[in-house]
Structure 1
Amino acid sequence: MSFKPGTNPVTFKSFGLDLVGDLYLPEDFDPAKKYKAIVGASPFPQVKDQIPATYGPEMAARGFIYLGFDYMGMGSSPALPGEHMKSRYMFRLIENTWDAVSYLGTLPFVEEIHGLGVCQGGSIIASAAVTDHRIKKIAMVSGMMAADPFQWTDRDMVNQQIAAANASMQKMYETGEPDYVNTIGLDDSQSREEFVGSGVNPMAEETYDYYGRDGVKGPVAVPTFTNAHIGDQGMQSLISIGEHYADKIVQPSLTIYSKSAFTAICSTAFVEKLTNEHKELAFDEFSHVDFYYKPEAVKASTDAVAEFFNA
């Protein structure tokens, strides 16, 4: 196919399915030239019209090719036959990412591939890079790489989450029907006041401002997105391998995060375990979700990532 500057709809194979993506190309794109390419990994439970649609144009403006895509079963990408939509399972996310790297490797104008993950995408990129050395450098923004100290601290709560996920999996197996839940406690129909007042999320205000019904990238603004997710998610997300293989990562890495964020430990605990060449960039002025969309935070992160990938 022919490519043009800007946004190019693409598909690539993974698990035998056609995953749907957008390939962002620089304004002065010339197919006869060679470019550094980036495979983007998005936060849970995002689709390509959220973080990738923000970071893609920014990285293209900085001279990179950027691939953002819907993971299998999410957004516009299909689920496997007999399986349900709205399911992001970590091990499959990693394999989808490997296939995205393979796709970028087929493009004649790509000379080098890097990985850029935001939030859960940070864990995906870090995990994928452990054994995929086609990825030459990785950058993680507000990343959830060291998820154990974040997710497993309150064992009673964890056991409740596991029990609910187990019950959901059993129900789906027996009925053959999907069982959808609001995994971050946010219903697509809730108002900001209702969600913040519920007290179920320590990052409620910034979470709603992005993901809520009236949020900048919520289900109204992004029709392919919903806060609902398949109910066995807890059985998947509680297994996070990124931090446990941190000392196996050989590629140079950049970790960007907010010092004040509730999730900061997911970056700092990860960095402590790294043995590769790595850089750490912590901000006082931004929150976890600020890096998703606020212009000043996005500029700070994408400028830093561009400099790191170009070094």
Structure 2
Amino acid sequence: MMQAEQLELVQDWDKVFPRNERVEHCKVTFVNRYGITLAADLYKPKGAEGKLPAIAVSGPFGACKEQSSGLYAQEMAARGFLAIAFDPSFTGESGGEPRRMASPDINTEDFCAAIDYLSCRDDVDAERIGIIGICGWGGMAINAAALDPRIKATAAMTMYDMTRVTREGYFGSADNKEARDQQRAAWAAQRTAEYASGSYERAGGVVDPLPEDAPQFVKDYHAYYKTPRGYHERSGNSTDGWNVIGTVSFMNQPILSMAGEIDTPVLLVHGENAHSRYFSEGAFELLKGDNKELMIIPGANHVDLYDNYEAIPFDKLQSFFEEGM
């Protein structure tokens, strides 16, 4: 058994969504191949017996498992799956130091470690395990699916390719060497200053209060992360964000480079009016064969797929995983 760190886990129900009494819930931990202990909420249909199909869920980027990923996991459990929502390394209740760092490699590994854990549970059918990645973890999920054949089906919801947006800026607005050189220089100066001071500076979560000229998608983020709808004290987006140098390695480690070699089913779901829709469309073009599907939700914006039951196609997700794995 991998040696796990003893984590201080909150046992009270502290999610931003109501508890479903048809679903059993408990906290669990598992260890990734870097020795980081991850914390997860496990949801299971009440009274279920035998081996169940399972799903691991994470995201959005900068969120915690008490927010959107937990909502998805609980709902999928109500539909017959054993599901876990986990905090990625360095965030939420999971281990890893320093806090609030992100890594294309380690965060992809977090999904694979979730598969390790689920595969070894007596109540899971190890041949029927899938994953759901939300927002920035949609990209990580696709990368994990390209690496790990134990993942039998993958859904990416309102996905971001964090490496692409870091490298190119939104809508390609900074997709040139000069802009990237400026960013590299800023990060380099930040690293020197932080090493000298011995501490990391946070970049800040979702802007608050909102400036009058804030783009609509920033207003949408604020409406989720900064209001009772979705605020959580362990969420970086709700509080002080990632470290300023937390996403440095995203610049030159494109996570979708092997997406074309995924043979298992991939479902991409995005809102019609989401500013981020082009990430799913771009990922869809990278996927090959007849194992891919792009579903556009009419009238929905980016954060509607975080918690809006009228926008999230749970019936589709249920049939996708039932038939695909």
Name the counterpart of 2:322: 310
Measure how far apart 1:91 and its partner are: 1.2
Report the Cα distance in structure 2 between the residues aligned to 1:196 and 1:147, rounded to whole angstroms.
27
Distance 1:165 1:217, change over 3 A: farther
Instruction: Tell me the equivalent position of 1:176.
Output: 198
Identity %: 25
Question: What CA distance in whole angstroms lies between the structure 2 residues aligned with 1:239 and 1:233?
Answer: 14
Count residues with an aligned counterpart.
289
Alignment root-mean-square deviation, CA: 2.2
**Stretch moving more, 20-29 or 161-170:** 161-170
Task: Indicate how the Cα distance of structure 1 residues 224 and 129 shifts in structure 2: closer, same or farther if over 3 A, else same.
Answer: same
Matched letter for residue 274 of structure 1: L
Q: Secondary structure at the match of 1:297?
A: coil
SS for the counterpart of 2:71 is helix
Structure 1's unaligned 5+ residue stretches are none
- Residue 268 of structure 1: how far off its partner (Å): 0.7
- 1:10 equivalent among 28, 34, 43: 28
| CA displacement at 1:239 relative to structure 2 | 4.2
Whether contact under 8 Å (1:22, 1:68) holds in the other structure is: yes
CA distance in 2, matches of 1:240, 1:46: 22
Asked if structure 1 preserves the Cα contact closer than 8 Å seen for 2:104 and 2:249, the reply is yes
Counterpart for residue 138 of structure 2: 122
SS of equivalent to 2:285 = helix
TM-score (norm. length: structure 2):
0.82
Residue 25 of structure 1 aligns with which residue?
A: 44
- The CA deviation at 1:167 is 2.5
- SS of residue in 1 equivalent to 2:70: helix
Q: Does structure 2 conserve the Cα–Cα contact (< 8 Å) formed by 1:123 and 1:240?
A: no
Instruction: Pick one of 41, 57, 64 that aligns with 1:47.
Output: 64
Residue 38 of structure 2 contacts residue 86 of structure 2 at CA under 8 Å; is this kept in 1?
Answer: yes
Matched, 1:70 2:70: no
Which amino acid is the alignment partner of residue 309 of structure 1?
Answer: F
How far is the alpha carbon of 1:101 from its aligned partner? Answer: 0.7
Pick from 268, 279, 286 the counterpart of residue 281 of structure 2: 268
Q: Give, in whole Å, the separation in 1 of the partners of 2:35 and 2:211.
A: 41
Q: Secondary structure at the match of 2:31?
A: strand
Paired with 1:223 and 1:149, the residues of 2 have a C-alpha distance of: 26
In the alignment, which residue of structure 2 is the partner of 1:164?
A: 186
How many Å separate the matches in 2 of 1:18 and 1:283? 36
Deviation track 1:220-242 (CA, whole Å, cap 9, x = no partner) reads: xx121233211113413334534
Distance 2:72 2:80 in 1: 13
Shift of 1:88: 2.1
- Judge conservation of contact 2:270–2:295 (CA < 8 Å) in 1: yes
Q: Offset of 1:87 from its aligned partner?
A: 1.5
Q: Which one-letter code corresponds to 1:216 in the other structure?
A: R
Deviation of 1:274 (Å): 1.0
Partner of 1:141: 157
Give, in whole Å, the separation in 1 of the partners of 2:161 and 2:236: 24
Q: Distance in 2 between matches of 1:223 and 1:6?
A: 24
What do residues 120-174 of structure 1 show as CA deviations (whole Å, max 9, x unaligned)? Answer: 1110100011120000011111112486378511226555443333322233333
C-alpha distance in 1 between matches for 2:321 and 2:85: 17
- Contact 1:257 1:282 (C-alpha < 8 Å) held by counterparts: yes
> Following TM superposition, by how much is the alpha carbon of 1:309 offset from its aligned partner in structure 2, in angstroms?
0.7
Alpha-carbon spacing, 1:278–1:174, altered in 2? closer, same or farther (3 Å)? same
Task: Name the amino acid aligned to 1:172.
Answer: E
Give deviations 1:195-245, integer Å, cap 9, x for gaps.
24253x551211100112x25222xxx121233211113413334534322
Alpha-carbon shift at residue 93 of structure 1 (Å): 0.3
